[in-house]
Amino acid sequence: MKFAVLALMIAASAIAQTPAPKAPAPKAAPPATPKAAPKAAAKGPDLLNPSTMNAKAPGIYVVRLETTKGNIDIRVVKIWAPNGADRFYNLVVAGFYNNSYFFRSLDFMAQFGISSRPDVSKVWDNRTMLDDRVVQSNKRGFVTFASTGQPNTRGTQVFINKLDQNRYLDDLKFAPFGEVVAGMEVVDMLYTGYGEDSNRQYEIGHDGEAFITKYYPRLDKIIRATVIAVPEQ
């Protein structure tokens, strides 16, 4: 910042017919050192800006899904599927799953992970991640990212296995990253009456909650998802 220096001009008056000497002009003070601009406050994760969502997840953490049927607690273990654990952590912390629906709820699994906000769905539509090696099995209670069946196509959609018979998904490279440690009875209560008919992923992504409330009003949803515990490592 530049500072203007004001020179004070002093007019001397005559004293006893002898002009008084002019006072010397004051020395200009050196300009102050410009202050560094304050650092902008760090911005939190922004769902519309995925580059702000690159936090590394703890080795183990617990996420609570508060749903319309009750709470579901998921214990995530990073060594099971590191990429999936990091992605899930960032999405939860940023609030991606808040107010999102179990849009595909069947006898063998319950799937969620399409935002109720069309603007968010548009941003995340192609934000895929690299596949993880399958370490755990898709048994009842284990939680896994969905994919198109092609390599490296996992994004934001997640399913909770309801049957031990889902182990065949291991050979299809579906890598569980967590396990339900409380609330499997809630998973079993999620509404399944629409079957595959409510699996309208394009319409949900494009129109958001308005589409679901109009055509599939009985679907259960996640009211809020939060990280509730990070055990000491």
For the segment 26-80, what is each residue's pLDDT rounded down to a tens digit?
A: 444 445 545 555 554 457 899 999 999 999 999 999 999 999 999 999 999 999 9
pLDDT at 22 over 70: no
Mean pLDDT, range 137-146, rounded to an integer: 98
**pLDDT tens-digit readout, 4-21:** 433 333 333 332 333 444
**pLDDT tens-digit readout, 154-198:** 999 999 999 999 999 999 999 999 999 999 999 999 999 999 999
Q: What is the dihedral of CA 32, 33, 37, 38, to 10 degrees?
A: -90
Q: Where are the domains of the chain?
A: 57-225
CATH superfamily of 57-225: Cyclophilin-like (2.40.100.10)
